[in-house]
Amino acid sequence: MLLHLEAVTKSFEGFQLHPLTLSVERGEFFSLLGPSGCGKTTVLRLIGGFETPTSGRVILNDQDITRLPPHKRNVHTVFQRYALFPHLTVAENVAFPLHLKKLPSAEISERVKESLKLVEIEDLQDRRTHQISGGQAQRTALARALVAKPELVLLDEPLSALDPELRMKMREELKTICKKVGITFLLVTHDQEEALQLSDRIAVFKSGQCLQVGTPKTIYEDPSDTFVARFIGAVNEIPGDIQGEASPETGEIVLSSPLGMFKLKKNGHSLPKQVSVILRPEKMRLLRSKSTTQENLMEGEIQDLIYLGSRTEYAVKIGPSTFKVFEQELERLKKRRLNVGDRVFLAWRGDDAIVLPQST
């Protein structure tokens, strides 16, 4: 383990970081994900040394760094707006952390060259920062973060200032670079897709509290909480009551809901009687007519549809609720075309439902 937060708290007026215990492995790409104001940047600043915890400890490589100033930590922070020095060239910006360490100039120039090459901006080394694009500024900030070979790089929403196309490209490069240099990266983001794409593991925050830590697959497919489920992707929800015990042979449980009775599979969570059944839109099938199926079925009407090329997104009205269903184009082409107002059936498997306690 490289980084360990031990029951870290931080209080500001009107904000409280709940005791946070978290470990990040060496070489891991780890993300802190959550909505604006949930405390992600505060956690990053506590690790970087720009804030001191109200209580708890920050351990890096078995050393207690809780009260060390930022420059004494083997950690580099890339700020949202990159914080490049405008009066310096790209190469001078990148060299800056090495000058602070008072390394010999031959070594500095060798390492700057290596770092610029890694992020593919060798040819921009003599430009000043107002003569480079947003993407190039991002690469310069990254080169500066990597040049001193810190144990940990902290990234505060580093892609948010880039246009969508460049952001996608930089996401891929960031992941490649992280794996190439073997340095541990900790990213703050409110963008769930970015977190899913980049991270080995994600910690999801809400109002100063870490709700779940897990791999992207776990967070998406087995969220611990309805907030996490909603935050990480599109969801359909059916509130209802669990009837009786799970069947001993099949582990099946029955949900009684305003939309009907449904069969579910009991998962690892201990469940109260009142639950929320969460269904991802891609886990539901649109049937053009009622057919005999082992799956759960709900009848409704197409309220809206959006054609998105690779898939079509449908809004299906069932009783007072509206369900989102995504149908892949290949699947759609094999079937009868649907229009607004058509009667349809939604089929879903009990195994694909995420059953969680109802949120309060």
Please report, as ranges, the residues that interact with ligand ATP according to CB under 6 A: 12, 15, 34, 36-42, 190
Residue whose CB is less far from ligand ATP, 41 or 236: 41
Least distance in Å: CB of 135 to ligand ATP?
A: 22
Tokens of 253: 């449980």
Least distance in Å: CB of 214 to ligand ATP?
A: 19
Least distance in Å: CB of 80 to ligand ATP?
A: 8
CB atoms within 10 A of CB 95: 24
Q: How many CA atoms lie within 13 A of 166 on its CB side?
A: 13
Contact 141, 83 (CB under 8 A): yes
Q: Is the dihedral of CA 259, 264, 219, 330 positive or negative?
A: negative
Helix axes 134-147, 164-181, angle to 10 degrees: 20
**Of 297, 271, 270, 272, residue with least CA distance to 286:** 297
Residue whose CB is less far from ligand ATP, 74 or 80: 80
Residue whose CB is less far from ligand ATP, 205 or 220: 205
Kindly write down the DSSP assignment for every residue of 274-341, as one continuous string: EEEEEE-GGG-EEESS----SSEEEEEEEEEEEE-SSEEEEEEEETTEEEEEEEEHHHHHTS----TT
Residue whose CB is less far from ligand ATP, 12 or 85: 12
Residue whose CB is less far from ligand ATP, 37 or 357: 37
Residue whose CB is less far from ligand ATP, 52 or 243: 52
Least distance in Å: CB of 15 to ligand ATP?
A: 4
Residue whose CB is less far from ligand ATP, 56 or 239: 56
Least distance in Å: CB of 207 to ligand ATP?
A: 9
Which amino acid is located at 218 in the chain? T
Least distance in Å: CB of 34 to ligand ATP?
A: 6
3-state per-residue secondary structure call for 17-69 = EEEEEEEECCCCEEEEECCCCCCHHHHHHHHHCCCCCCEEEEEECCEECCCCC
Write the burial class of residue 50 (CB in 10 Å: 0-12 exposed, 13-18 middle, 19+ buried): middle
Q: How many CA atoms lie within 13 A of 281 on its CB side?
A: 18
Distance of CA 256 to the CA centre of its chain: 33
Residue whose CB is less far from ligand ATP, 195 or 264: 195
Residue whose CB is less far from ligand ATP, 17 or 242: 17
Least distance in Å: CB of 350 to ligand ATP?
A: 36
Least distance in Å: CB of 37 to ligand ATP?
A: 5
Which residue lies nearest ligand ATP, judged by its C-beta?
41
Distance of CA 293 to the CA centre of its chain: 35
Least distance in Å: CB of 162 to ligand ATP?
A: 16
